[in-house]
Amino acid sequence: MNQAPLLELNNLKTHFHTERGRATAVGGVSFTMDRGEIIGIVGESGCGKSVMSQSILRLLEHTDSVEYEGEVLFEGENLLDMPLSKLRAVRGNDISMIFQDPLTSLNPVYTIGNQIEETLRLHKKLSKKEARKKAIEILGLTGIPSPETRVDDYPHQLSGGMQQRAMIAMALACEPKLLIADEPTTALDVTIQAQILELITELNRTLGMGVLFITHDLGVVAEICTGVKVMYLGRIVEEAPTEQLFRSPLHPYTRGLLQSIPKLDGDRNEKLHVIEGTVPSLFDIPRGCGFSTRCPYADEKCRNEDPVMLQADERHRVRCWHYAEIDAMEERRNGDGEAVGG
């Protein structure tokens, strides 16, 4: 087996050249992912999750304004400078991607069975009969009822939820080494969502399929991910094994995200925390820390010096100058609040 990590991003940057100037949507992302890991990428809307995940497979090249920098190594080979013909063989075979909108992947003029069978025959070299059997089986696994008849439907004959499941079946059919899932279950109801997540984790367990799971749903992350990376303004601001990140979040942004999840046992009258302010425009990125314009703890240093990634623990890294002091700062703030409130 290839000894190189499954996926390694080295200072990946994605720029768009627009009429207003250059917009850097991904501002230098580095991480390594091993086989069998399920990594969650979280962050508010607009923080660069989708652009980053689409950059891995160079799916943004239809806009000629895009420019990549850095490296995306898949099993040691840089996808960013790979000839397109070779990259096409990686897409859908070694790396599959699923999206929130199924119609981006399904072809309207073929039945879903044809599309899954075609993938299986091409990548897995199955006979027509074997491919059909496998297509029905995998459609069933995604929770499509009566898969033996649905297999002959065209995409438009299926409901939105079923189209979603058909797309997922197609992506998983050839058992990719890496699945990139960009908010794949957001539009589905919770029962179907649970079924899809179960299918993904099952393939992860049995085949060691790595999963990069992009979501803003921290509940899903807690349920299935082995590790989490929190993105803000095109960069990773904190990363840790899932349990550690939920137990002791260090970055003020991560703390804000976690405080905005409703708790089942919480006081119903307690207000949910909202992170004040909005994500700055890509044309107006702050000079120091990207989060300093919204951070309650930011000081002069934060406003002037861009923080580096600091090693807080063996597998816990954070991009915040003051991460070790935030607890004490928070206590002081709360204490002051009580004193003012009487």
User: In terms of CB distance, is 50 or 292 closer to ligand ATP?
Assistant: 50
Q: Does 97 bind ligand ATP (CB under 6 A)?
A: no
Q: Would you mind telling me the total number of residues written for the chain in this entry?
A: 342
Contact assessment for residue 33 and residue 5, using Cβ atoms and an 8 Å cutoff: yes
Q: Helix, strand, coil % (nearest 5) of the chain?
A: 40, 20, 40
* Residue that the structure tokens 């046992």 belong to: 265
* Residue that the structure tokens 């623990």 belong to: 313
User: In terms of CB distance, is 18 or 259 closer to ligand ATP?
Assistant: 18
| Binding residue for ligand ATP, selected from 6, 29, 47, 57, defined by CB under 6 A | 47
User: In terms of CB distance, is 158 or 282 closer to ligand ATP?
Assistant: 282
Alpha helix locations (H) across 91-215? 112-124, 128-141, 147-150, 160-173, 190-207
What residues from 157 to 216 belong to the interface with ligand ATP (CB under 6 A)? Answer: 216
Q: Does 56 bind ligand ATP (CB under 6 A)?
A: no
How far apart are alpha carbons 93 and 265 in whole angstroms?
A: 44
Q: Does 85 bind ligand ATP (CB under 6 A)?
A: no
| Binding residue for ligand ATP, selected from 9, 15, 29, 49, defined by CB under 6 A | 49
How far apart are alpha carbons 181 and 204 in whole angstroms?
A: 13
Q: Does 48 bind ligand ATP (CB under 6 A)?
A: yes
Q: Which three-class secondary structure state does DSSP give residue 251? A: coil
| Binding residue for ligand ATP, selected from 282, 298, 312, 318, defined by CB under 6 A | 282
User: In terms of CB distance, is 48 or 92 closer to ligand ATP?
Assistant: 48
User: In terms of CB distance, is 47 or 236 closer to ligand ATP?
Assistant: 47
User: Sign (positive/negative) of CA torsion 307, 308, 309, 310?
Assistant: negative
User: In terms of CB distance, is 16 or 154 closer to ligand ATP?
Assistant: 16
Q: Which three-class secondary structure state does DSSP give residue 287? A: coil
x-or-dash string of contact with ligand ATP, 7-26, rule CB under 6 A: ---------x-x----x-x-
Q: Does 51 bind ligand ATP (CB under 6 A)?
A: yes
Q: Does 138 bind ligand ATP (CB under 6 A)?
A: no
* Range in contact with ligand ATP (rule: CB under 6 A) among 42-50, 85-93, 146-154, 250-258: 42-50
User: In terms of CB distance, is 20 or 315 closer to ligand ATP?
Assistant: 20
Q: Tokens standing for 57?
A: 């497979």
* Range in contact with ligand ATP (rule: CB under 6 A) among 40-48, 133-141, 149-157, 264-272: 40-48
Alpha helix locations (H) across the chain? 49-56, 84-90, 112-124, 128-141, 147-150, 160-173, 190-207, 218-224, 242-247, 252-259, 300-304, 326-341
Q: Does 46 bind ligand ATP (CB under 6 A)?
A: yes
- In terms of Cα–Cα distance, which of 139, 148, 208 is closest to 168? 139
User: In terms of CB distance, is 285 or 310 closer to ligand ATP?
Assistant: 285
Work out how close the CB of 315 gets to ligand ATP at its nearest, in angstroms, rounded to a whole number. 24
Q: Does 63 bind ligand ATP (CB under 6 A)?
A: yes
Work out how close the CB of 57 gets to ligand ATP at its nearest, in angstroms, rounded to a whole number. 14
Residue 318 to residues 2, 35, 259, Cα–Cα distance (Å): 30, 24, 18
Contact assessment for residue 218 and residue 257, using Cβ atoms and an 8 Å cutoff: yes
Contacts of 339 (CB under 8 A, 6+ apart): none
Contacts to ligand ATP by CB under 6 A: 16, 18, 23, 25, 43, 45-51, 63, 216, 282
